[in-house]
Amino acid sequence: MLVNFADILKDAEKGNYAVGGFNTPTLETLKAVIDAAQEMNSPVMINHAEGDQCVVDIDVIGPLMIEYAKKATVPVAVHVDHGLTDDFVLRAVRAGFTSIMYDMSAYDFETNVEKTSKFVKIAHSMGVSVEAMINEMPANMPGKGMTIGWNTERTDDIPLSEFFTRPGEAGEFCERTGVDALTVSFGTVHGKYVAKPVLDIQRLTEIKAKTPNTSLVMHGGSGVDANQVRDAISHGVKKINYYTAMTTAPAPEILKTIEGSKDPIYFENIAQMGYEIMKEKCMEAIKVFLNKD
């Protein structure tokens, strides 16, 4: 069933688990995520990032996402990931997306507050929930290729801690904007980790203390070990974005199949393999996010 993310995040706060936010720019990822969530009996968020507009337009994938959400046996929020322009996020609202990440993190703090507050008023008047972010979080996504508005390869050597969210700023931002959820940075990056990620749980605890009425979101869930993910959930994170590990999982298996085959390779068989492998990865992630054992 199609739901608003404020509702599923409220339940996650009560139940001390996190809802996975998975990007679904292809039919195979969309089916994989919905089927994984149904099999795990877990609520889920399906995301379309503005950066993936060059993979597929929201006019094409949006109605499919909404249709799959409506038909699902579990609660599904249809969400914009990293909405960078007003034009795009308003298109998403009109298309029926139930939540938007309005990402004005490239702007300075005051401009971000001003833009986000205005957007929250519009979105809330239409029953749409809003996630926001302060301070840009680095990305390291070699091989991603097609993307819009993102610097996908990390070439600087600035320590990751320089990007960590400052608790006082987080508190002030949430109070002044009224956002439903805030993406916080305390040790993750988008994409591939160069060194094993170490989450700063003390920092997360301090952020949570300043943002008691806002759900906290961790981006860059791929590659963080299960114990650290569970620790983050127990200290305030209730939505986790996860994509790279899922979307890069099929390639090695597909390569083996292609190399081992003397027959012509039918693309639909490759696509089906991709679906099955991504569904498994998604189920693995959801199992950790449910935070049960």
Give residues in contact with ligand 13P (CB under 6 A): 23, 81-82, 190-191, 219-222, 241-244
83 is in an annotated binding site: no
Annotated catalytic residue within 81, 86, 200, 293: 81
**What b/e readout covers 137-147, taking b as 16+ CB neighbours within 10 angstroms?**
bbbbbeebeeb
- What's the Cα-to-Cα distance from 259 to each of 11, 143, 251, 265, 270, rounded to whole Å? 47, 21, 12, 10, 13
H helix and E strand count, the chain:
11, 11
Inter-residue long-range contacts of 108-117, CB under 8 Å, 24+ positions, other chains counted: 109/134, 109/169, 109/173, 112/173, 113/172, 113/173, 113/176, 113/177, 116/173, 116/177, 116/179, 117/176, 117/177, 117/178
**What b/e readout covers 235-274, taking b as 16+ CB neighbours within 10 angstroms?**
bbbbbbbbbbbbbbbbeeebeeeeeeeeeeeeeeebbeeb
Residue closer to ligand 13P, measured from CB, 141 or 176: 141
244 is in an annotated binding site: yes
Residue closer to ligand 13P, measured from CB, 211 or 244: 244
191 is in an annotated binding site: yes
Residue closer to ligand 13P, measured from CB, 35 or 103: 103
235 is in an annotated binding site: no
Active site residue 52: no
The distance of closest approach from Cβ of residue 72 to ligand 13P in the complex, given in angstroms and rounded to an integer, is 21
Residue closer to ligand 13P, measured from CB, 175 or 284: 284
First-to-final CA distance of the chain: 27
The distance of closest approach from Cβ of residue 291 to ligand 13P in the complex, given in angstroms and rounded to an integer, is 18
The distance of closest approach from Cβ of residue 38 to ligand 13P in the complex, given in angstroms and rounded to an integer, is 21
242 is in an annotated binding site: yes
The distance of closest approach from Cβ of residue 222 to ligand 13P in the complex, given in angstroms and rounded to an integer, is 3
Query: Residue positions in the annotated binding site for dihydroxyacetone phosphate?
Result: 191, 220-222, 241-244
Which residues participate in catalysis according to the annotation? Answer: 81
